[in-house]
Every structure is written in structure tokens, then in C-alpha cells.
Structure 1
């Protein structure tokens, strides 16, 4: 199809003139946390064609299509939103809007080949709601259903892409007491079944009883190249995970970890990362009787690699509060910032998530301290583009809280 040269020129002008697009963008006078555990520095950041071109003390002379003066405000990489089902769960009580779990599947088998990435919807309203709060990526999870092995996921970027997955494939395994009740009434059944499943990796396909041939192939690949995310809170369950992972040579990660501080020396020795909600200080079940607010600080002091998750998808933006409470209870600030920015990408095998030359420009300018609940994301830049800072929530706000007196009474704020 031939297109009029005038139309081509007009489209190019409109693209360049749109508020979210700038071929080059300069952020000046920022208090920049580059994403590791180093203190902040006063730096300028030059972004070109979606990548960070330069980071230095003074880039004011550098040509740029757009300049944003941070005026000393904090600047960070886009944050990690924790382990979520963003893009998989729209409304929990509406069955066609939830694609994050296997439940009552007719086969009766374990399905480690179940991959939630095939159902990921980047147009979900959850994505922009989370993104405009300063979050750029998440670990996409297969939610616990009625199987010990929930399924596969990986890192995903909140850039609106249909194939924005990154890093190693992770398989999710639940070994807590709640899920044990669904597997014969005891958490011991988890380990009985897991041992039997791993034994089936060496048998012929026609002799498989607990997994399918596709599941066998997937588990072999995961064992070689993937990550095993075990959900466990009780100290004894965590030790069981460590023993099982050592026996089967698995690259394991603990999710939950309310009693991880009790076995922190064993976690440090095995170099097993732990993903916790640092707000857990009261037992929500008998699995977390030992929950305490300084869990994060104790784990860090013992040399355990630490990440955060809120345990929520629709309120993943509250994760800053989780990290802030960990700092308030003894975790060093810079360690918390690394756990919210670059460290999750490193642990889960993704691309680097830092503010450094040559890396993708996913950057946030904050109104104040990113770990303070009174602060907010002022500007969000994903893939070098300024986010319009709109979501379903902001659009509903504009619709139902207008100031135009010409609208009907239902649209007027009383």
C-alpha cells in the first residue's frame, strides 16, 4: 500500500509531538539511586532511543528533545512489584477473568508444564494501575490451586507488550499447611508426591502415573535451567525445602518465609534467597506463629539474600510500604532499595534493572522518599517513554468528580 508523503510526515510529527514520546530525554538534578546497594548521588541522566545514554554529575550541555528538572527529588529504576498475578486476574470472583491457577482439572495429574504466561493480558487494568505508582516489572506467578505444583511463570515487564517476559522460567510449588489440606490432609503428602514425581523423571513415558510426558519434559528442563519457588512459612517446612532441593540439585527460592529468621543460618549456608512480606508480624495461621517485624533485618544480618512481595496483585503498589517497614525495623535503607529494583532481576535471571549507560531506560522520579507512604511517583519512564500516568482509576476519578456544572447530578461532586 502506497502512502502519501505528506501523511507520512504528519504521522511522524504527531509521534514526536506526543507527550509520551521523546527521542531523547534529559533528567537533571536528580538524587539518583542507581539500583545497587550504594547511597544516592546527585546525577543527571540522558536517555536516547529507549536506552540510558549517560549518567554523570552534569549533563546540562547535552542536547535533548525534552528536559525534566528533578529539583533534587529521588530518582530510581522502576520498582519490582513482587510476586503477582498481574495480567492474569482482573476480578477474583469472575471466573473468566482469572487465569492464574489450575483447579479441578479432569486429568488428576500434576502439571509442571502449565504455563500462565500463555494467558497473560498486558491490557489488563491492573497493569497501568500498578505502573503509574512507579513499578516496572513483576514475577508472574501460577497461583496455588489444588495441586502441589502450581505451574510456571517468569519475570514480566509492565511495558504493555504481549511478549514482555524475561529471565528464567520459575515453577511454583506449595508445601504449606493450607495447601496440604487439599492433598490428602497433611503437608507430608506434598513431599510424598514430590518424591514420587521426581522418581518418574527416570521412567519410560508409558509408565508415568503422576505427570504427563509433557510434564516430565518440562520438569527435566526446569531442573536443569529453571528456578523452583517453594511457598513455605513454617521453619520446619523451610528446612524440608532445603533438604529436598539439595537432594535433587534444585535452584530453590523460598516465598513466604514468616519463620525464616529461625533457620536463617541454614538459609545463608545454602545461599537460598527468601521473598517475604515484611509487614507480617502476627500469625495469620499456625504456619506463621513465629512471625516478627525484624525478620528482614535478621535475615540480612545472617547473609541471606532478601526480596519483598506484598502477597497482593491488585494492591501490589503497596510494596513500597512493605520495604519501608523493613527499614524501620533494622534493614539498611540501601539494601531495601536494591531489593526493590535490581536484585529481583538478578535473582530471577532477567535483564539488568539499574540506572547505568547502555541499559533500558525504566526510570521513576519521586515526590519524596520512595519508601515513605506519603511520597508518590511524579513521572514514570518505561522503555524511554514518559508514561501518561493514567489508569482506569484515574479515568473514573475524572468522570465522577468533575467540576463542570453542566453535567448531570450523578457526575457532580457534592
Structure 2
């Protein structure tokens, strides 16, 4: 036991030191620059523009066009026709609220309470650490923002989370979202019956709307929980619901329509079965584009064409991973690339990593596309950004050039150096 504690303490100390070094390396001021002669994938109505320049001043995109002149003092980056995209969405993750999943002291995404476990007021963004060692790792793959997602612990209403830019900022940049888990994945938290989820939701709605006395001995929510849920019922924020089975999605659409709330679906393995209804209700879906096997009874209709079928019906499509999303945010490009390989148009694949999640999560007015007036969150690529065989050459967030290194690259460089006369552990 003492040996385990010693290793854990050393790991925490090392992680903290590395994170501080990474944060200290970030430039302090926004950079003015002109990216010249790029293939600019705007992720907007303008689409992709060849031989195009992007002017950034004060961290804001000031102009997008051909033949732009760099004002005095503005540095020029020659793109030589390479792809330039908005910074990518890292998915719904625990980046910044989790360091090592097996070390509970570093995980802040889950609330576990025996008494009154349904706490919609729980906000994981309050624990966000902008010096997390996971942030530089994600940025190396062009990721500039992520949605912090609360995870179900003691209740199927997991809590709230916000959108975080991975530029060293400590606070969310937009509204919070409330995370809910339905179907088989949440049944163990609702008396082992998915039918009970709707019963509990109905009672919570009644409490939030004031139809149940606040001092009722059978109340499910605290006063703060009632106030939080009431805001979402009033349309001030979006409910992000993890659900897969078509039957459960159908019930969710009925409930959301009856209560007039904004929802988004995460997972949605069988969402393609209800594509027209989702499009009509304007419900976006964060798809696991690698889901191709019925790994549970909720996913019997799994298909790699899920994203393509949804988009063809008019559904807004983005992407989300199921497992270890925080440490594997780089796989988001693989999800989008696989969706494109199975019928999703390339422009929609890019939009699913940029504009769509930004709009769905309430920050599309600031990030998610290359347009005049938006934050200069940009990535210059060596090749096709939806092909994992290519890589990001440079990431700018708010016009600042991000260090293109991480804990992983520093370890690589350390152990690839020529051997010295000292033992390997003492080479540095």
C-alpha cells in the first residue's frame, strides 16, 4: 500500500509540474498575423476557398479573401495551399476535470451521493483545470474546444457542464448544458427499469414548475435543483441526452415536445431509424461514427452509415466518443473520417467537428467557423484534416500560436536522443 501511495504522490507532483510548464509556455498576448495562400475550409456557407488569405488582428478574424495585404507589424505565415480550418471540437469529455481515470483524486466529473442523488445543479466546470496535461495533447491534433460532460454517478441526471476553449482560459465561454442518461445505460440508476426514468422525469418537472410543495417529504430535488431544472424548462440551455435505442428516442422526442425543451442526443446508435422525426424537431445528434456492432440490446441497429443517413434527412450531425474520450480526443478526426468514408459529405464531416457543435452548444457566434468577427481559432494542416495520416502543423487560439508540444512529445524526444555515457535514466 505504501508503495502505491508513493507512486501516486510522485505522479501527481510530476503531472502538476509538467502542466505548469506547459501553461507558462503559452504566449500572453493575442498575435496579429496573416495566413497567406491557404485552402481555407471556412465551415460556413462560403464553403472551401482556394488561394485565400485570412487576416487576424487582436485575436479576431478581420478579413477572409484573396490578395490581402499585411498591415505593418503583422507577421505572415505562408500556407502554400495547405488546408486551414477552424479549431476542432474535442467531443464531450472530461478534459481538465480528469487527469488519470484510475486515480479518484484527479476525477471531478461524477457526483455520488446516497441521499438525494438527483442534483441537476451539479456543475463540473467549476473544477476545470486549465493547466491539465491533457490539454496540450489534444491541441496537437487541432482541437481547440471541448464540452465538459457530467457523468452519471448516483443519478441518471448527471449534472451540468460548459464549453471550454483549450487556450488556458479557466471559465466556460457559453451557456451550460444539462447531461442526462436514458435507456439501459441509466436503468441501474432508476430502479432497473427504463420506464421509471420517465416517471422520475415527470416528478422532477412537476417540482421545477412548482406543482409539488418544496417541503414535500417525497421531493426529488433540492431548491437549487428545482431552480436549475426550471431554467432548462424555460429554454435557457440545452439538455444533452445519452440514448441509443429507437424506442427510447421516440419517447424522448414526445417528452421534449410536450415540455418544450431543447435537446440534443449523444450516441444515438439507432437514431437513423427516426431521422425524419429528429429533423422535424430540429434535434442534433452527436454520433459515435465507429459504432457498427450491436454491443448491447439498445444498439441492435448499429450501422456505420448512421451519420450519413441522419444528415441526408436534414439532421445536424456532430460526433462523440463512448470510451475514454478525454485521453483519446484525437480520435474525433477518425470518427469524422469514418463517417465520410461511409457516405457523409466531406463538408458535413468538417462541420460536425467545428460549426455544428459550436452552434448546438450555444457558442457558434464566437467559434466554429472562419468568418469575419469570430475568434481566430485556426489550424494549419499538413494534409486532409479528416485523414488521420496527416497532422496539424500549427494551432492558433485567439490568434496566439500554441506550443506544438506535449508531455508525449517531450517523452518521445527524451528517449530518442543518442545514448550518452550515463545510464538512460540520467540522460537529462
TM-score by length of 1: 0.91
Going from structure 1 to structure 2, the CA distance change for 1:238 and 1:184 (only over 3 Å counts) comes to same
User: Offset of 1:146 from its aligned partner?
Assistant: 2.4
Matched-pair contact (CA < 8 Å) for 2:70–2:76: no
SS of the aligned residue for 1:42 comes to strand
SS of the aligned residue for 1:83 comes to strand
In the alignment, is residue 262 of structure 1 matched against residue 277 of structure 2? no
Aligned to 1:215: 225
User: Offset of 1:167 from its aligned partner?
Assistant: 2.3
Aligned to 2:335: 322
SS of the aligned residue for 2:352 comes to helix
Going from structure 1 to structure 2, the CA distance change for 1:61 and 1:360 (only over 3 Å counts) comes to closer
User: Offset of 1:82 from its aligned partner?
Assistant: 1.2
SS of the aligned residue for 1:28 comes to strand
SS of the aligned residue for 2:174 comes to strand
Aligned to 2:178: 171
Q: 1:293 aligns with which of 298, 304, 318?
A: 304
Separation of aligned partners in 1, 2:30 and 2:188? 54
User: Offset of 1:176 from its aligned partner?
Assistant: 2.1
User: Offset of 1:333 from its aligned partner?
Assistant: 0.7
Aligned to 2:136: 128
SS of the aligned residue for 1:356 comes to coil
Aligned to 1:159: 167
Going from structure 1 to structure 2, the CA distance change for 1:23 and 1:102 (only over 3 Å counts) comes to closer
Matches for 1:226-305 after TM superposition, within 5 Å = 226-305=237-316
Matched-pair contact (CA < 8 Å) for 1:50–1:384: yes
SS of the aligned residue for 1:275 comes to strand
User: Offset of 1:130 from its aligned partner?
Assistant: 0.3
User: Offset of 1:395 from its aligned partner?
Assistant: 1.8
Going from structure 1 to structure 2, the CA distance change for 1:269 and 1:22 (only over 3 Å counts) comes to closer
Separation of aligned partners in 1, 2:59 and 2:280? 40
Going from structure 1 to structure 2, the CA distance change for 1:197 and 1:369 (only over 3 Å counts) comes to same
Aligned to 1:119: 127
Matched-pair contact (CA < 8 Å) for 2:44–2:371: no
Going from structure 1 to structure 2, the CA distance change for 1:22 and 1:405 (only over 3 Å counts) comes to farther
User: Offset of 1:355 from its aligned partner?
Assistant: 1.4
Matched-pair contact (CA < 8 Å) for 1:20–1:387: no
Q: CA RMSD in A?
A: 1.9
User: Offset of 1:19 from its aligned partner?
Assistant: 7.6
Separation of aligned partners in 2, 1:220 and 1:22? 39
Aligned to 1:77: 86
Separation of aligned partners in 1, 2:31 and 2:377? 15
Q: 2:65 aligns with which of 41, 51, 56?
A: 56
Aligned to 2:380: 365
Going from structure 1 to structure 2, the CA distance change for 1:39 and 1:54 (only over 3 Å counts) comes to closer
In the alignment, is residue 405 of structure 1 matched against residue 420 of structure 2? yes
Aligned to 1:5: none
In the alignment, is residue 89 of structure 1 matched against residue 110 of structure 2? no
Separation of aligned partners in 1, 2:310 and 2:298? 18
Of the structure 1 ranges 322-331 and 342-351, higher mean CA displacement relative to structure 2 is found in 342-351
Going from structure 1 to structure 2, the CA distance change for 1:75 and 1:249 (only over 3 Å counts) comes to same
Aligned to 2:10: none
Matched-pair contact (CA < 8 Å) for 2:55–2:70: no
SS of the aligned residue for 2:63 comes to strand
Consecutive unaligned residues of structure 2, counting only runs of 5 or more, are 1-25
Matched-pair contact (CA < 8 Å) for 1:146–1:183: no
Matched-pair contact (CA < 8 Å) for 1:146–1:179: no
Matches for 1:323-342 after TM superposition, within 5 Å = 323-342=336-355
User: Offset of 1:305 from its aligned partner?
Assistant: 1.1
SS of the aligned residue for 1:168 comes to coil
Matched-pair contact (CA < 8 Å) for 1:36–1:337: no
User: Offset of 1:60 from its aligned partner?
Assistant: 4.5
Separation of aligned partners in 2, 1:327 and 1:407? 50
Separation of aligned partners in 1, 2:99 and 2:357? 24
